Amino acid sequence: MAHHVSAPHPAPPPGPGTDDVRSHPRVLEPVLLVILVVLAAVGAIIGIDLVSELGISANTSVVGALVAMLIGRIPLGFLRRMRSVHRQNLAQSAISAATFASANALLTSVAVPYVFGRKDLVWPMLAGAFIGLIVDAWVLYRAFGSRLLPADAAWPPGTAAAETIKAGDRGGRRALILAGGTAVGLAETLFSLPLSAAGVAFLGNVWALMMFGIGLMLRQYGPDLFHTDLGAGYIPHGVMVGAGIVALGQAVHLLIGRRERKRQAAAEETRTAAVLADPSVAYTVDERALRLSLIRGYALFTAGAAILAVLGGLIGDMSPLGIVGWVLFAAFAALVHELIVGLAAMQSGWFPSFAVTLIFLILGLAIGIPSVPLALLVGYVSATGPAFADMGYDLKAGWLLRRDHRPWDPFEREGRRQQFLAALIGFAVALVVVAVAWRSYFGQGLIPPVAKVYADTIKSGLSDPDAVRTMLFWAVPGAAVQLLGGTRRQMGVMLATGLLILTPQACWLVLGALAVRVGYRKLRGPAADEELNLVGAGLIAGSSLGDSAQILKT
């Protein structure tokens, strides 16, 4: 992937400053605001329904974009403004934020103390999870467009949402290709074929996705090849631990390494002409701003953990030193969790939130954190990551839709700001939906399956004395692969992500699509990229629609 020249501005400023900025739609436009709230409510309901009844979550970005397109074609004057691709982008940002917030962040988090038998901690956990959710999204908003989380990275679901919106706006051959891919992706849900995996392979980094495919293959065929289930016994968790530690070290080195900065400066000099031709490929967040964002993110996570400790009554259950240690560890786990999940999501469109949270749960057991504080810690950590990844997807979609605007920089920054505000609306609606619905859902036994796993693991403790030893052993190859791939490819994280997923035949779809991608590019040249991007976006969009439609079956 190409290196870019840093833009002169370190981070997205909060306010508009030119007519071009003011031309970007605002979430507080009355009609748009009503549409965003309604879509967010629909997304939140879809999210809690799917995660509680089926244990899955769906990316509803494409659903929001399609609804916004349909609204824009209603022959009423005040609705025609919804034909703007930027308003449609705000719509898909709000509904997807609400979906992931309600399902992956809020309902799953509050279910942990509930299943653990501490119903009195549900409301404190909801407050703590909401704080973690907001901080999670804020960190991504401030870091997106940096060298660590570049806008021109894959972010596959974001590309799918953007291509759907553009095809609906422009029509023509692009729309036909996208519609064909969407139809195939939607049809695959009827046969339970994971064609979205093939779609991702047309969009992401080839090396990262090759390791992802290898991980999927090892997980599926491990029992036949090695007479061992590589998904059992914390093997993939160990690989993720090693890869995650190295990924964290690579991020730190990216921020403070002198030799790395010199190498980057030399590479940037050679890219000046490219940036002048297309300013959208410039980094909008430099290393200093990224460093400050991560430090402030840790401070905010620390404050959120402290509030949760007070609301959860931990002050009376732990020593002052234990409280301080718990708060600092919870904040560290939340920050590392969101970074690992975000890097995996950036490359593949999958985020291994469950696995990384489980790693910190096991580490908490190993260092002797009491059960109730550990349940709250797990709920807090699990609230981070999904919103980080989803915000990346949405900002990627917005970046693709805005990149042709001139002057680009102020318009892009204001667009990101409006998307962040749209996400906050989605989060607020999701909070209300979960606060109203959790009693009814839990009372019917509709509890997210991962929450049961967390609670059961805490109750049983480390019944397997070899669990930590196994994780440490398998951390070595995970670290080696991650080190070999470097920051851009995230090969170790992607290998671990593949090992964690047991989806029959997904490995063949990923590796086969990569082979088609390489061969088709040799045949067609650079023109192949746009065509395959449309096909991949269509497959992902169709799969997302199929996942969302499963709510009709429940």
Q: Cα(500)–Cα(459) distance, rounded to whole angstroms?
A: 23
Please check the confidence at residue 356 and state whether its pLDDT lies above 90. no
Q: Find where tokens 């059960």 sit.
A: 371
Q: Report which listed range, 32-36, 82-86, 451-455, 506-510, is most confident.
A: 32-36
What is the signed CA dihedral for 25, 31, 36, 41, rounded to 10 degrees?
180
Hey, what are 53's tokens?
């009844």
Q: How confident is the model at residue 139 (pLDDT cuts 50, 70, 90)?
A: very high
* Per-residue buried b or exposed e for 130-141, using 16+ beta carbons within 10 Å of the residue's own CB: bbbbbbbbbbbb
Q: How confident is the model at residue 296 (pLDDT cuts 50, 70, 90)?
A: very high
Contact indicator for 199, 545 with CB cutoff of 8 Å: no
How many Cβ atoms from other residues are within 10 Å of residue 378's Cβ? 29
Q: What is the DSSP letter of 279?
A: G
Q: How confident is the model at residue 275 (pLDDT cuts 50, 70, 90)?
A: low
Q: Cα(101)–Cα(47) distance, rounded to whole angstroms?
A: 8
Q: For the residues 536-543, what does the mean pLDDT come to?
A: 76
* Measured CA distances, 356 to 343, 375, 433 (Å): 12, 15, 27
Least confident of 58-62, 78-82, 525-529, 545-549: 545-549
Write the CB contacts of 446 (distance below 8 Å, at least 6 apart in sequence). 52, 53
Contact indicator for 137, 181 with CB cutoff of 8 Å: no
Q: Cα(445)–Cα(436) distance, rounded to whole angstroms?
A: 16
Query: Which among 529, 486, 533, 413 is positioned nearest to 147, based on CA atoms?
Result: 486
Q: Cα(248)–Cα(256) distance, rounded to whole angstroms?
A: 13
Contact indicator for 397, 166 with CB cutoff of 8 Å: no
Q: What is the pLDDT of residue 274?
A: 58
For residue 362, which amino acid is it?
I
Q: How confident is the model at residue 121 (pLDDT cuts 50, 70, 90)?
A: very high
Q: What is the model's pTM? A: 0.78
Q: What is the pLDDT of residue 12?
A: 47
Please check the confidence at residue 552 and state whether its pLDDT lies above 70. no
Write the CB contacts of 181 (distance below 8 Å, at least 6 apart in sequence). 199, 534, 535, 536, 537, 538, 539, 541, 542
Q: For the residues 215-220, what does the mean pLDDT come to?
A: 88
Q: What is the pLDDT of residue 403?
A: 87
Hey, what are 56's tokens?
């899955």
Contact indicator for 282, 268 with CB cutoff of 8 Å: no
Q: Report which listed range, 23-32, 166-175, 272-281, 459-468, is most confident.
A: 23-32
Q: How confident is the model at residue 13 (pLDDT cuts 50, 70, 90)?
A: very low
Please check the confidence at residue 502 and state whether its pLDDT lies above 90. no
Query: Which among 129, 35, 134 is positioned nearest to 438, based on CA atoms?
Result: 129
Q: Cα(359)–Cα(378) distance, rounded to whole angstroms?
A: 10
Q: What is the pLDDT of residue 6?
A: 40
Contact indicator for 265, 500 with CB cutoff of 8 Å: no
Please check the confidence at residue 54 and state whether its pLDDT lies above 80. no
Largest distance between two CA atoms of the chain:
68
Q: What proportion of the chain, given as a percentage, has pLDDT over 90?
A: 30
Q: Find where tokens 């291509």 sit.
A: 163
Q: Cα(393)–Cα(92) distance, rounded to whole angstroms?
A: 10
Sign of the Cα pseudo-torsion (96, 100, 103, 109, in order): negative
Q: Cα(481)–Cα(500) distance, rounded to whole angstroms?
A: 16
Q: How confident is the model at residue 200 (pLDDT cuts 50, 70, 90)?
A: confident
Hey, what are 243's tokens?
């890869």
Query: Which among 421, 411, 398 is positioned nearest to 144, based on CA atoms?
Result: 398
Please check the confidence at residue 55 and state whether its pLDDT lies above 70. no
